[in-house]
Amino acid sequence: RAAARRSAAEHLLSLVGVPAKPLLPPTVPGVLREGLGTREDPAAGPAAGAVGFEPTEADLHRALDQGELGVVYQPKLMCATGALAGFEVLVRWNHPVHGVITPDRFILLAEELGVIDTLTEQVMRQALAWLQRSPLPAGLSLSINLSARTLVGLSVADRLERFCTEAGVAPSRVTLELTETAAMEDPVSALDVLTRLRVKGFELSIDDFGTGYSSMSQLARLPFSEMKVDKTFVITAPSSGDSRTIIKSIIDLGHNLGLRVVAEGVEDHETLEYLRRCGCDMVQGFLLSRPLPGERVIEWALARPDQPWLESPSFFSR
Ligand code: C2E
Ligand code: CA
Ligand code: CA
pLDDT tens-place string over residues 268-295: 999 999 999 999 999 999 999 999 999 9
How many C-beta atoms surround the C-beta of residue 46 within 10 A?
A: 21
- Read off the pLDDT band of 199 (50, 70, 90): very high
Q: What is the pTM of this model?
A: 0.87
Over residues 178-195, the mean pLDDT reads: 82
Which ligand number lies closest to the CA of residue 284?
Answer: 1
How far is Cα 235 from Cα 239, in angstroms, rounded to an integer?
A: 9
Cβ partners under 8 Å of residue 255, min gap 6 = 261, 279
Task: Give the model's pLDDT for residue 38.
Answer: 39
Average pLDDT, the chain: 87
- Read off the pLDDT band of 27 (50, 70, 90): low
Distance between first and last Cα of the chain: 24
Which ligand number lies closest to the CA of residue 212?
Answer: 3
Judged against a pLDDT cut of 70, whether residue 91 lies above it is answered with yes
Task: Give the model's pLDDT for residue 315.
Answer: 81
What's the 268 CA to ligand 2 centre distance in angstroms?
Answer: 20
Task: Give the model's pLDDT for residue 48.
Answer: 46
Task: Give the model's pLDDT for residue 126.
Answer: 98
- Read off the pLDDT band of 43 (50, 70, 90): very low
More confident residue, 180 or 77: 77
Task: Give the model's pLDDT for residue 49.
Answer: 45
**Residues lining ligand 2 (ion), CB within 5 A?**
145, 177, 207
Over residues 35-51, the mean pLDDT reads: 49
Which ligand number lies closest to the CA of residue 230?
Answer: 3
Judged against a pLDDT cut of 50, whether residue 161 lies above it is answered with yes
Q: Is the CB of 264 under 6 A from ligand 1?
A: yes
Task: Give the model's pLDDT for residue 37.
Answer: 43
Judged against a pLDDT cut of 50, whether residue 251 lies above it is answered with yes
Task: Give the model's pLDDT for residue 46.
Answer: 47
- Whether omega for the bond prior to residue 293 falls within 30 degrees of 0, making it cis, is no
* Nearest alpha carbon to residue 73 among 58, 55, 86, 56: 86
How far is Cα 251 from Cα 217, in angstroms, rounded to an integer?
A: 17
Residue 17, phi-psi category: left (phi > 0), alpha (psi -120 to 50), beta (remainder): left
* Nearest alpha carbon to residue 185 among 228, 157, 225, 215: 215
Task: Give the model's pLDDT for residue 36.
Answer: 52
Question: pLDDT digits over 139-153, tens only?
Answer: 999 999 999 888 877
- In the three-class reduction of DSSP (H, G, I as helix; E, B as strand; rest coil), residue 144 is classed as strand
Q: Is the CB of 263 under 6 A from ligand 1?
A: no
Residue 270, phi-psi category: left (phi > 0), alpha (psi -120 to 50), beta (remainder): alpha
**Residues lining ligand 3 (ion), CB within 5 A?**
207-208
